[in-house]
Amino acid sequence: MSSTELPFVPPATVLPKVAPVRVGEGERMRSVGLPGITLAVRSRPPAREGLPPALYVHGLGGSSQNWSALMEQLEGDVDGEAVDLPGFGDSPPPDDGNYSITAHARAVIRFLDASGRGPVHLFGNSLGGAVSTRVAAVRPDLVRTLTLVSPALPEIRVQRTAVPTGLLAVPGVAGLFTRYSRDWTAEQRVRGVTALCYGDPGRVTPEGFRYAVEEMERRLQLPYFWDAMTRSARGLVNAYTLGGQHALWRQAERVLAPTLLVYGGRDQLVGFRMAQKAARAFRDSRLLTLPEAGHVAMMEYPETVAGAFREFAVDGATSDGSVGGSDKRDGSVGASGEGASGDRRDSATASGDGADATTVGS
């Protein structure tokens, strides 16, 4: 092993305790033990009984908190839960140290099988979008609909601003970066991540920024933080190189569930040009474009994304309560009367009190 590469971190049973993650008003956290992994699960009690289940999967470096704003918006529509993937949020590392896309997808599948909640409305952002795509492709019985926000699917021409994230996959780079940034404060780190992930960092409220700094301080105490980041980034890059039936774009073509695709025009990590390619790849898809949004539209414009999901789900509902619907790849998805569009680049504005930057992922 290179002297600059982070070593493998032993199972969670020997890891030190740190402060738990923040639990927002109206939210609950619980821990679910599964073979080889333990998952922290964030939930929000639904507005009424009998709502269909939903599961939210965060991106690289993120956590279930990334979905808090959207979960609140949709509490009257779905019975939502959000997972912390192994090694992120309040979930300890996996026992085998495997952070591949396949391993993350396996964790989601194990959770859904154990909970018996499927089929669910499955949401994924960035790396979580790649994970959710794989879940929907290999276990269509578990997925009612699929909503992907800036999914991390392979690009031939990667944006320059996304290169540093990809470099984390290179052996030794994480160790070098850790030493280079050792004097950075949590506030400096959060400002950098927010500038990278938000279309307009000014949308982050002071309270949201404070929560994000507190979470960053908590993460930096975790001995496996960089290991989880590095190995997950490496797993994503490795997934990009797979061919045949395991290729992510091939798996996108296999997805049977109706799919809502959400792309931000100011996304610095996933190219906006990929929106149309994704709309063609997923056989039954709708495309929501938000020209002012960055990489985490569900945090920046939760009301808009929620409105688009409601219209998407209602339009596709069949008489037996399942979701089907016609292919509307190029059709626009309205979002509560706001300026979101499908194949146009009209500006989308979202009302509300601004975004919470807590634990932004990529």
Number of Cβ within 10 Å of residue 15's Cβ equals 14
* Domain contains 277: yes
* Domain contains 88: yes
**Left (φ > 0), alpha (ψ -120 to 50) or beta: where does 352 sit?**
left
Q: What is the pLDDT of residue 10?
A: 46
Full domain range(s) for residue 199: 12-315
Task: Kindly state the DSSP code that residue 244 receives in the 8-state scheme.
Answer: G
Q: What is the pLDDT of residue 316?
A: 61
* Domain contains 362: no
* pLDDT, tens digit (0-9, with 9 covering 90-100), for 22-75: 899 999 999 999 999 999 999 999 989 999 999 999 999 999 999 999 999 999
* Domain contains 343: no
Number of Cβ within 10 Å of residue 202's Cβ equals 10
Q: What is the pLDDT of residue 168?
A: 43
Q: What is the spatial distance between Cα 242 and Cα 224, in angstroms, rounded to a whole number? A: 27
Q: What is the pLDDT of residue 14?
A: 53
* Domain contains 31: yes
* Domain contains 346: no
Amino acid type, 18:
V
Q: What is the pLDDT of residue 337?
A: 35
Domain count, the chain: 1
Q: What is the pLDDT of residue 311?
A: 95
| Residue appearing with tokens 């002071």 | 206
* Domain contains 339: no
Helix-strand-coil split of the chain, %, nearest 5: 40, 15, 45
Number of Cβ within 10 Å of residue 153's Cβ equals 21
* Domain contains 237: yes
Order of strands, sheet of 37-43, starting from the edge strand that comes earlier in the sequence: 28-34, 37-43, 79-84, 53-57, 120-125, 143-149, 259-264, 285-290
Q: What CATH number does the domain containing 103 carry? A: 3.40.50.1820
Structure-block tokens of residue 117: 């909640």
Q: CB of 340 within 8 A of CB of 348?
A: yes
Q: What is the spatial distance between Cα 176 and Cα 6, in angstroms, rounded to a whole number? A: 10
Q: What is the pLDDT of residue 349?
A: 37
Amino acid type, 80:
G
The contacts of residue 120 (CB under 8 Å, 6+ apart) are 52, 53, 54, 55, 112, 142, 143, 144
Residues of the chain with pLDDT below 70 are 1-16, 156-182, 316-362
